[in-house]
């Protein structure tokens, strides 16, 4: 069997087009949706991420402002800046790029963002809303994975067994909750899971969110399963690759996401969805 590809680039383009449409509708009512991005320090990866976020926003008509501060910025100054953005009605979404410099308490910084502007979906209020099935902002990566499943007709996962490898607060745990909300039976695995293969072989859907190459190999996948690869790693040649042994797993799986061109572009696109959603909610 050769799996069908879930093309993250194509789906993300479709999502961006939908966002553009919603932006135009708000602009017609004199509302300019706006995302404020804060970058502290010079981390090269973060610089690329924020540049992409600004470019993606502008492409859809969302206004994005990037504020850059030195790595030695005082946490109190950052909190004051976030408070000002919270109070600014022209700003609908606030994103503080992680990781923060070591002297800052990331938890305190995220909690300082007003929940109705928390477009990254990392605030405790957002996590709580997801937990109890209330409207809130969903973390972009698992939200993008759910959108990928929907794109292949997998909205209601009743009767499906989903296996999530990884339990981080920003990917694995919210992913599991979203799958559960879509009526899947969910197993969460982590570094302490004995016999990972016995678990993944049960999965009609397997989501790998570990950060290690070849965590999921062909012998660990049930024939026809849907495989979503969240991992971002580098191979020996320095090329971007996921957690899944793509070349071999695609011969067993029914559907598979590639890396690059899979979950990554969808994560970027879902930030735009959360931002337009934030603007629409306060403009209703
Ligand atoms: P993380 O916080 O490091 O979590 C990794 C998880 O994998 C942990 O729960 C860990 O278990 C588990 N794990 C480690 N080794 C394992 C093993 N051998 N078997 C089973 N589970 C194992 O990472 P993260 O932030 O969730 O990110 C995961 C990956 O996704 C990374 O490659 C990251 O770069 C990528 N990512 C991609 C996107 C995107 O847009 N494409 C977005 C976010 C993250 P313990 O909890 O027991 O330690």
State pLDDT tens for residues 86-99: 999 999 999 999 99
Instruction: Specify the range with the lowest mean pLDDT, choosing from 1-5, 59-63, 86-90, 106-110.
Output: 1-5
Residue 129, in any domain of the structure: no
**How far does the centroid of ligand 1 lie from the alpha carbon of residue 165, in Å?**
8
The reported pLDDT for the residue numbered 78 is 98
d(CA 26, CA 221): 45
d(CA 184, CA 270): 22
The reported pLDDT for the residue numbered 68 is 98
Atom of ligand 1 nearest to the CA of 144: 40
Total domains in the fold of the chain: 2
Whether residue 176 is found in the same domain as residue 258: yes
Dihedral sign from CA coordinates of 244, 250, 256, 258: positive
**How far does the centroid of ligand 1 lie from the alpha carbon of residue 210, in Å?**
3
Whether residue 100 is found in the same domain as residue 162: no
Domain range spanning residue 249? 140-264
Q: What is the mean pLDDT of residues 265-276?
A: 98
d(CA 281, CA 239): 40
d(CA 92, CA 88): 8
Q: What is the mean pLDDT of residues 133-155?
A: 97
Whether residue 111 is found in the same domain as residue 181: no
Q: What is the mean pLDDT of residues 165-194?
A: 98
Whether residue 172 is found in the same domain as residue 238: yes
Whether residue 58 is found in the same domain as residue 149: no
Whether residue 186 is found in the same domain as residue 235: yes
197 is catalytic: no
CATH number, domain of 36, equals: 3.40.50.10860
Closest CA to 15 of 284, 276, 279: 276
Instruction: Specify the range with the lowest mean pLDDT, choosing from 1-5, 65-69, 168-172.
Output: 1-5
The reported pLDDT for the residue numbered 122 is 98
Whether residue 145 is found in the same domain as residue 245: yes
Helices 263-283 and 140-151 meet at what angle, rounded to 10?
100
Q: Using a 6 Å cutoff on CB, does residue 189 contact ligand 1?
A: yes
Give pLDDT tens digits for 17-50: 999 999 999 999 999 999 999 999 999 999 999 9
- 31-34 CB contacts, 8 Å cutoff, 24+ apart: 31/279, 31/283, 32/63, 32/90, 33/61, 33/62, 33/63, 33/92, 33/93, 33/275, 33/276, 33/278, 33/279, 34/62, 34/63, 34/64, 34/65, 34/90, 34/91, 34/92, 34/93, 34/279
The reported pLDDT for the residue numbered 284 is 85
249, 259 Cβ separation under 8 angstroms: no
Q: What is the mean pLDDT of residues 109-132?
A: 98
Give the up-direction half-sphere exposure of residue 3: CA atoms within 13 A in the CB hemisphere.
26
Q: With a cut of 90, say whether residue 15 has pLDDT above it.
A: yes
Which member of 97, 243, 245, 250 is catalytic?
97
Which member of 56, 120, 204, 243 is catalytic?
120
Q: Using a 6 Å cutoff on CB, does residue 181 contact ligand 1?
A: no
Whether residue 208 is found in the same domain as residue 92: no
Q: With a cut of 90, say whether residue 269 has pLDDT above it.
A: yes
Q: What is the mean pLDDT of the chain?
A: 97
- The protein residue with its alpha carbon nearest to ligand 1, atom 40, reads 264
Give pLDDT tens digits for 222-262: 999 999 999 999 999 999 999 999 999 999 999 999 999 99
The reported pLDDT for the residue numbered 1 is 65
CATH number, domain of 234, equals: 3.40.50.720
Q: Using a 6 Å cutoff on CB, does residue 170 contact ligand 1?
A: yes
Whether residue 156 is found in the same domain as residue 234: yes
Whether residue 244 is found in the same domain as residue 158: yes
Q: Using a 6 Å cutoff on CB, does residue 257 contact ligand 1?
A: no
Whether residue 148 is found in the same domain as residue 208: yes
Q: With a cut of 80, say whether residue 116 has pLDDT above it.
A: yes
Q: Using a 6 Å cutoff on CB, does residue 191 contact ligand 1?
A: yes
- Which of the listed residues 115, 132, 164 is the one where a domain comes to its end? 115
């Amino acid at each position: 069997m050769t799996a069908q590809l879930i093309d993250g680039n194509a789906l993300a383009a479709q999502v961006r087009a939908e966002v553009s449409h919603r932006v135009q509708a708000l602009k017609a009512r004199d509302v300019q949706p706006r995302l404020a991005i804060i970058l502290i320090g010079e981390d090269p990866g973060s610089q690329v991420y924020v540049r992409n976020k600004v470019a993606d926003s502008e492409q859809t008509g969302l206004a994005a402002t990037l504020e850059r501060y030195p790595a030695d910025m005082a946490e109190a100054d950052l909190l004051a800046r976030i408070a000002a953005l919270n109070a600014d009605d022209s700003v609908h979404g606030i994103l503080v790029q992680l990781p923060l410099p070591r002297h800052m308490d990331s938890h305190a910084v995220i909690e300082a963002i007003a929940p109705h502007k928390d477009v990254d979906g990392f605030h405790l209020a957002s996590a709580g809303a997801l937990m109890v099935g209330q409207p809130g902002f969903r973390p972009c990566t698992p939200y993008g994975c759910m959108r990928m499943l929907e794109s292949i007709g997998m909205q209601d996962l009743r009767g499906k067994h989903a296996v999530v490898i990884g339990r981080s607060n920003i990917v694995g745990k919210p992913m599991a909750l979203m799958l559960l909300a879509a009526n899947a039976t969910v197993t969460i695995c982590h570094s302490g899971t004995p016999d990972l293969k016995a678990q993944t072989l049960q999965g009609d859907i397997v989501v790998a969110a570990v950060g290690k190459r070849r965590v999921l190999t062909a012998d660990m996948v049930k024939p026809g399963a849907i495989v979503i690869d969240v991992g971002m790693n580098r191979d020996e040649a320095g090329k971007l690759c996921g957690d899944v042994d793509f070349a071999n797993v695609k011969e067993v799986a029914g559907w598979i996401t590639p890396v690059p061109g899979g979950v990554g572009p969808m994560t970027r696109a879902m930030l735009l969805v959360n931002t337009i959603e934030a603007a629409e909610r306060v403009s209703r």
